[in-house]
Amino acid sequence: MAPPLLHIRDIALTFGGTPLLTSAELQVMEGDRIALVGRNGSGKSTLLKIAAGLIEPDAGERFLQPGRTVRYLPQEPVLTGFDTVLDYVREGLAPGDDAYRADYLLEVLGLSGDADPSSLSGGEARRAALARTLAPEPDILLLDEPTNHLDLPAIEWLEGELASLKSAVVLISHDRRFLENLSRATVWMDRGVSRRLDKGFRHFEEWRDDVYAEEEREQARLAQKIRREEHWMTYGVTARRKRNMRRVRELADLRDKARSYRGPQGSVTMSATEAEVSGKLVIEAKSISKSYGADPVVKEFSTRINRGDRVGFVGRNGAGKTTLIRLLTGDLDPDSGSVRLGANLEMVTLDQKREHLKSEDTLMEVLTGGRGDTVVLGNETKHVMSYMKDFLFQPEQARTPVGVLSGGERGRLMLARALARPSNLLVLDEPTNDLDLETLDLLQELLADYAGTVLLVSHDRDFLDRVATSVVVSEDGGIWREYAGGYSDMVAQRGEGVTAKRIEKTQRKSDDAAKKQKPAPAAKAPSKSKLTFTQAHLLKTLPETIAGLEKKLSSLQSRMDDPDLYSREPQKFARLSDEITKLQGELDAAEEQWLELEMLKEES
Q: Rounded to an integer, what is the distance from CA 57 to the centroid of its chain? A: 31
Torsion of CA 14, 215, 171, 28, to 10 degrees: 80
**Closest by CA position to 305, among listed 454, 479, 473:** 454
Give the three-state DSSP class for 126: helix
Stretch (H or E) spanning 502: helix 501-517
- Residue pair 136/94 in contact (Cβ under 8 Å)? The answer is yes
- Tell whether residue 262 is among the known ligand binding residues: no
Rounded to 10 deg, the angle between the 245-260 and 204-235 helix axes is 150
CA distance 562 to 541: 34
Residues whose CB is less than 8 angstroms from the CB of residue 330 and which lie 6 or more positions away in sequence, other chains included: 339, 341
- Tell whether residue 478 is among the known ligand binding residues: no
- Tell whether residue 38 is among the known ligand binding residues: yes
CA distance 496 to 170: 29
**Closest by CA position to 418, among listed 463, 396, 450, 464:** 450
CA distance to 277, 319, 382, 459, per residue, from 315 (Å): 31, 6, 39, 8
Q: How far apart are the two ends of the chain, measured CA to CA in Å? A: 64
Amino acid (one-letter) located at 399: R
- Tell whether residue 318 is among the known ligand binding residues: yes
**Closest by CA position to 355, among listed 408, 410, 317:** 410
- Tell whether residue 42 is among the known ligand binding residues: yes
- Tell whether residue 353 is among the known ligand binding residues: no
Residue 416: how many CB atoms within 10 A of its CB? 22
- Tell whether residue 470 is among the known ligand binding residues: no
Strands 281-292, 336-341: pairing is antiparallel
Q: Rounded to an integer, what is the distance from CA 594 to the centroid of its chain? A: 35
CA distance 303 to 25: 52
- Tell whether residue 81 is among the known ligand binding residues: no
Give the three-state DSSP class for 84: coil
Cross-strand bridge partners of residue 480: 474
CA distance 163 to 539: 34
- Tell whether residue 293 is among the known ligand binding residues: no
Amino acid (one-letter) located at 592: E
- Tell whether residue 319 is among the known ligand binding residues: yes
- Tell whether residue 44 is among the known ligand binding residues: yes
- Tell whether residue 181 is among the known ligand binding residues: no
Give the residue ranges of the annotated binding site. Answer: 38-45, 315-322
Give the residue ranges of the annotated binding site for ATP. Answer: 38-45, 315-322
